[in-house]
Every structure is written in C-alpha cells, then in structure tokens.
Amino acid sequence: MSQGILIFAEQRDGILPKITLELVSEGRRFADKSGSEVGAVLIGAGVEGLADTLAAYGADKVYLVDDPSLAGYNTDTYSQIFAGIVKEKSPAIVLLGATTSGRDLGARLSAKVGAGLASDCIKLELNNDGRLILTRPIYTGKVLTRVTLTEAIQIATVRPNTLPLGAMDSSRKGQVEKRPLNLTEPVKVKVLEVKKGEKQELDVAEADIVVSGGRGLGKKEGFNIVEELVSVLNAAMGASRAAVDSDWIEQSHQVGQTGKVIAPKLYIACGISGAIQHLVGMSAARCIVAINKDSEANIFQVADYGIVGDVYQVVPALVQELKKML
C-alpha cells in the first residue's frame, strides 16, 4: 500500500528555491494530519549541506544523490534517479514545483511509474481517506477545477507562491540517506553549456512583487521607467509576450501561458492590455494593479486596482511617491 509523502527538492546552483520549501512545508502539514512521513529527494553536485534546511522545514528523511555529473538538471538522469526512489518507496503523494524542471520531471515520472499526474495546481487538500483533492486552472485560467487521482501514487506539480511557507525550525533534524548514482538506462541527453543572462535578477516565478511591461510601452526604452519601479520596490521584472516578441526584453522575463506562471503578493502591469494568455500566467497574484491608458483594456477586468493613464506619466509619479514612503 502506498503511503507517505515524497518531495522533489529542486535546487538551482546549490540554492533551494522558495517553491521547494513551500512543498516541504505543505508535506509536513499533510504528514502531521495523516500520521505519515515526509521524504525529500535531493539530487545535484555538492548539495549535501541543503539537507539540514529541508529537515528544518519538515522533511523526516532526505534521499541524497550527490555526484559531480549531476551539477545541472538533465531530464534523463534526474528522471531515472527519481523514478527509482518512487518505485522503491511507493509514496502515496509526490509533489514537485511547477517550474521548467518540475514540469518536465513530473511528466516523465508519471510515465515511468504509471501514476496519475495533475499539473499546475494552486491548492492541495486531503479528503477523509487521505487522498488528494487538487485545484487547478483549466481553459486558459477561465475555470478552476477540483480533481482527484485514482492511481495509488498521486503526482502533482504546484505553482510557486500558492502554498503557505512554514516556519523554519533549525532544531529539527532529519535522516540523510546517501545513495550512489546508479543509472540503468542509457543517457541520451547531454547538457553542453548553460548560458545565463548578463544581469543576475530576481526570478519572476519566485518574487513576492513583480512589475511587468507590455506593448503599451511603445518601445524598448520604455522598460527603463519600469526598471525604476522595479528598483524602488525590490521587485522582479516581468513582461508580456508582445514585449518579448518585439525583442524589447529577454524571454526569461515573460509571464503567461507560454512564459512563466506566477503567483506573487503584488503584480503591477504597465501598458499590458490583458490577453488571455497573459492572464493565465498572473491571475493567481494576490493583488493586481493595472496601469493602461485604454479604459476598456481587458486587464482591468481582473485588476484589484486600476489606473487609467499614460504609463510615462503614472509610473514616474508612482516612483516618486514610493521613494518618499520607503
């Protein structure tokens, strides 16, 4: 019988992103309710030190596979390792972040172990039988549906910033089970090089505050005023697909169905009309502020606060007022 909760402890360059800690925290809450155990699968190179942090957020056991060849995410190696542990431990619930790596790994894991998968979830609940009830958006975010999975092992990918982050307890210790790298299938994919952007900026998927620019800025230089607002709020820079397609900003900043799906505490849209593909990516934000000179723009239908005006007048004025306050 499947039991327990297993978390994919995604790490990037030796750092645990917020979504990993959110998942461990949620797993801890579920385990306390059901009387089960929380395990975390930690894969990478030189990442053993992260096990203490996972334990502090609620992991009872950390399955560690640490090898120099695992420095970067590789779909072939990571899926083999994770699937092997899932088959061995047969957890009732497996949780991954709805990140680029998590979505890829979740789908491959589902196929490898023959388990059900619900993707892009924004809320997790347990029914009286200890089975998951998952809330996820469908039809490009127009409808929220609650689903259950019938397979013994239930796999879900969860959007960042949608689950509460538990308190860190440094006195809490977990067991670390070190495992050798043992691949039974050929590795068909090899990562030759990873190119990073010139600027080291906040990831829009992780940030509490995101300020995005769109086609309404009119030109690439328009992002300069957005950058001022980003700076004063210590926010992450986002963008609509139209702005990215116009080569005004790098694709890593794109928010939307074909970009990153985010759920910040505050989202400010500057010159974004509100195409449905963009709304899918930011509709889970707790507070949405829209700035657009078109009073009929679709973005105002989902905004908590709307400012009808020219972004080149509104944003600088907003920056000046915020500087006085912050």
- The pLDDT, as a whole number, for residue 192 is 84
3-state secondary structure the chain: CCCCEEEECCCECCECCHHHHHHHHHHHHHHHHHCCCEEEEEEECCCHHHHHHHHHCCCCEEEEEECHHHCCCCHHHHHHHHHHHHHHHCCCEEEEECCHHHHHHHHHHHHHHCCEEEEEECEEEECCCCCEEEEEEECCCCEEEEECCCCCCEEEEECCCCCCCCCCCCCCCCEEEECCCCCCCCCCCCCCCCCCCCCCCCCCCCCCEEEEECHHHCCHHHHHHHHHHHHHHCCEEEECHHHHHCCCCCHHHEECCCCECCCCCEEEEECCCCCHHHHHHHCCCCEEEEEECCCCCHHHHCCCEEEECCHHHHHHHHHHHHHHHC
My answer on whether 264 and 312 are in the same domain is yes
∠ Cα 254 258 261 (to 5°): 65
Does the structure show a pLDDT above 90 at 267? yes
Domains of the chain: total: 2
CATH number for the domain that contains residue 242: 3.40.50.1220
Q: Which two tokens stand for residue 84?
A: 């092997």
> Comparing 257 with 74, which gets the higher pLDDT?
74
Host domain of residue 269:
209-325
The answer as to whether 259 is a domain residue is yes
Cα–Cα distance, 118 to 285 (Å, whole number): 21
Please determine, for residue 193, whether its predicted confidence score (pLDDT) is greater than 70. yes
CATH number of residue 131's parent domain: 3.40.50.620
As a whole number, mean pLDDT of residues 68-88 equals: 94
Report d(CA 92, CA 20) in Å as an integer.
19
pTM for the full predicted model: 0.81
Give pLDDT, residue 199.
62
Per the domain annotation, does 104 fall within a domain?
yes
Residues 102-145 have pLDDT tens digits of 999 999 999 999 999 999 998 999 998 889 999 998 876 678 89
pLDDT band for 198, please (50, 70, 90 cuts): low
282 and 174 fall within a common domain: no
Both structure tokens of 24: 């461990």
Q: Is residue 114 in a domain?
A: yes
List the one residue out of 289, 295, 231 whose CA is nearest residue 265: 289
* Contacts of 321 by beta carbon, 8 Å cutoff, 6+ apart: none
Segment 72-95 mean pLDDT: 95
Domain assignment of residue 249, yes or no: yes
230 shares its domain with 111: no
What pLDDT was estimated at residue 170?
A: 92
Identify whether residues 18 and 161 lie together within a single domain.
yes
* Interaxial angle between packed helices 100-113 and 75-89, expressed in degrees from 0 to 180 and rounded to the nearest 10: 50
Q: What pLDDT is attached to residue 197?
A: 66
Same domain flag for 174 and 226: no
Indicate whether 150 belongs to any domain.
Answer: yes
pLDDT band at 320 (very low <50, low <70, confident <90, very high): very high
Measure the CA–CA gap between 257 and 242, rounded to whole angstroms.
Answer: 13
Whole-number mean pLDDT of the chain?
92
- The pLDDT value given to residue 191: 83
Better-scored residue on pLDDT, 277 or 255: 255
CB atoms inside a 10 Å sphere around CB 57: 27
